Amino acid sequence: MTKTAIIGAGPCGLSQLRAFQQSELKGEKIPKIVCFEQQDKLGGLWNYSWRTGSNQYGEPVPNSMYRYLWSNGPKECLEFADYPFDKHFGRAIPSFPPREVLYDYILGRAKDGDLKKYVRLSTTVNSVIFDENKFIIKSTNKKENKISTEEFDNVVVATGHFSVPYIPEYEGMDSFSGRIMHSHDFRDAEEFRGKNIVVLGSSYSAEDVALQCYKYGAKSVTIGYRNNPMGFKWPEGMKEVHHLDKLDGKKAIFKDGHLQETDVLILCSGYLHHFPFLEESLKLKTHNRLYPPNLYKGVVWQDNHKLMYLGMQDQFHTFNMFDCQAWYARDVIMGKIKMPDSKEIEKNIKEWISKEEKLEDPIQMIDFQTEYTKELYAASNYPEIDFEIIRKHFHSWEHHKEEDIMTYRNRSFTSPVTGTVAPIHHTPWGEAMDDSMATFLNQK
């Protein structure tokens, strides 16, 4: 029997476990599976942790999610084909749930498939080396302080890429008298009530952290973009200005000459793809992009087809794209999908990258990732789901955001799995201060 290691039990690792579990359910002979997870719970980033910096074992805290985080896209776009929302919650729920609700949904499928039995919690993978056709994995169980060395035939890297912050430096940071932090350490917007906040960046974290600070009572919110502004119609009290030049005392000075009194500077400057446990020849090196290099079908490591990466793309599509990747990876590992020769692989990767480099706007980017996901979907037996509905939903969502960034989360979408139309949430997002699952589900 061959052995497969899965590193990480976040959404991607759980997709991989589900893919194998579904095969086993059909009577197929699956490899022996070991999933390593450094946290003491399943669910990856969807676990909320109050911790920042190091955990109790001195390791960096991977969690980047915060209180009051609501889904930033319609839940219908990420629905699992084999585990619909209606099945989990026993009824239709609104389209933009808070974190705790999505976390419950992720754990629900894991429980349904008894996936925990494959997972070694509180166990960090320290190193992966490829030698004589086998991967040698060293791991440490932190609770028992037990170090293990084992051999595997295949490895699936599902460690995420939104945990290690990218932190730029600006003139004047040394002497700035306010607080400087990265969005990775942002936990509770209430902390910034009555304060002047400067947010740097122009992607999802900048958008959401800025809106959170506004919603929970910041005195002013100023967003500094580096290349292109997000350009939304911000409510009064929020503004977008061109890139930070420097800090001077308590003032932020921007490239367009704008001056802003600042209590807190929040760097929403993104994350690094960081795999300190992988030997150099196995290590993916990329920035956050829709088609990272050296991955055939965005999954299989070009130079060693026994190594897979899941979820390494920048993401519009999430959970069901991870599923399509995991179903594909499973079929490669089980020998059902054969790899083409190296020339064909090289050509295929180049074609996708060249398409990616021509993309000009979010709608084209959505279409690109939908096409990519559909190609993977067609290659495996992932259950029925309508990616064309998902594509349309993403287009509408993008337009809703442009119309009004404060109200796009109040909309309703149709399930691509069951056809269910989501009810409108009882409280508009801008007024919903309590993000608990109990309050969210308390729908009449």
> Which residues contact ligand FAD (rule: CB under 6 A)?
7-13, 36-39, 44-46, 62, 64-65, 71-73, 78, 124-125, 158-160, 162-163, 205, 277, 311, 315, 318
231 binds ligand NA7 (CB under 6 A): no
Sign of CA pseudo-dihedral 300, 306, 307, 308: positive
| Contact stretch for ligand NA7 (CB under 6 A) within 262-270, 322-330, 362-370, 415-423 | 262-270
Distances (CA, A) of 12 to 42, 275, 299, 361, 419: 11, 16, 12, 27, 25
- With CB under 5 to 8 Å by kind, the binding choice for 292 among ligand FAD, ligand NA7, none is none
The answer to whether 2 touches 153, Cβ cutoff 8 Å, is yes
- With CB under 5 to 8 Å by kind, the binding choice for 301 among ligand NA7, ligand FAD, none is none
Q: Which residues ranging from 278 to 297 are in contact with ligand NA7 (CB under 6 A)?
A: 288
Rounded-to-integer distance, Cα 32 and Cα 14, Å? 15
Q: Which of 222, 213, 218, 220 is nearest to 237 (CA)?
A: 220
Residues that bind ligand NA7 (rule: CB under 6 A) add up to a total of 19
Sign of CA pseudo-dihedral 397, 401, 403, 404: positive
387 binds ligand NA7 (CB under 6 A): no
- With CB under 5 to 8 Å by kind, the binding choice for 202 among ligand NA7, ligand FAD, none is ligand NA7
Antiparallel, parallel or unpaired: β 251-254 and 244-248: antiparallel
- With CB under 5 to 8 Å by kind, the binding choice for 65 among ligand NA7, ligand FAD, none is ligand FAD
- With CB under 5 to 8 Å by kind, the binding choice for 165 among ligand NA7, ligand FAD, none is none
Q: Which is nearer to ligand FAD, 9 or 198 (CB)?
A: 9
Q: Which is nearer to ligand FAD, 96 or 176 (CB)?
A: 96
For the bound state, the minimum distance from the C-beta of residue 168 to ligand NA7, rounded and expressed in Å, comes to 3
Which residue in 12, 157, 200, 252 binds ligand NA7 (CB under 6 A)? 200
Q: Which is nearer to ligand NA7, 31 or 165 (CB)?
A: 165
End-to-end CA distance of the chain: 52
Q: Which DSSP string do the residues of 44-96 spell out, in sequence order?
A: GGGS--S--SB-TTSPBP-----TT-B-SS-GGGG-BTTB-HHHHHSS---SS
Residue 121: what residue type? L
Q: Which is nearer to ligand NA7, 206 or 334 (CB)?
A: 206
Name 43's Cβ contacts closer than 8 Å, sequence gap at least 6: 9, 10, 11, 14, 103, 106, 107, 110
226 binds ligand NA7 (CB under 6 A): yes
Q: Which residues ranging from 52 to 91 are in contact with ligand NA7 (CB under 6 A)?
A: 72
Rounded-to-integer distance, Cα 214 and Cα 1, Å? 56
Environment class of 337 (CB within 10 Å of its CB; exposed 0-12, middle 13-18, buried 19+):
middle
162 binds ligand NA7 (CB under 6 A): yes
Neighbours of 143 (CB within 10 A): 11
Q: Which is nearer to ligand NA7, 133 or 227 (CB)?
A: 227
10 binds ligand NA7 (CB under 6 A): no
Helices (H), 334-361: 342-357
- With CB under 5 to 8 Å by kind, the binding choice for 12 among ligand NA7, ligand FAD, none is ligand FAD
Which residue in 16, 315, 373, 380 binds ligand NA7 (CB under 6 A)? 315
Distances (CA, A) of 232 to 221, 228, 392: 14, 12, 21
- With CB under 5 to 8 Å by kind, the binding choice for 201 among ligand NA7, ligand FAD, none is ligand NA7
Residue 300: what residue type? V
269 binds ligand NA7 (CB under 6 A): yes
For the bound state, the minimum distance from the C-beta of residue 283 to ligand FAD, rounded and expressed in Å, comes to 13
Rounded-to-integer distance, Cα 141 and Cα 92, Å? 40
For the bound state, the minimum distance from the C-beta of residue 160 to ligand FAD, rounded and expressed in Å, comes to 2
Q: Which of 102, 185, 99, 149 is nearest to 434 (CA)?
A: 99
Axis crossing angle, helix 362-379 with helix 342-357, rounded to the nearest 10? 150
- With CB under 5 to 8 Å by kind, the binding choice for 62 among ligand NA7, ligand FAD, none is ligand FAD
Query: Which residues are near ligand NA7 by CB under 6 A?
Result: 72, 162, 168, 183, 200-206, 226-227, 268-271, 288, 315
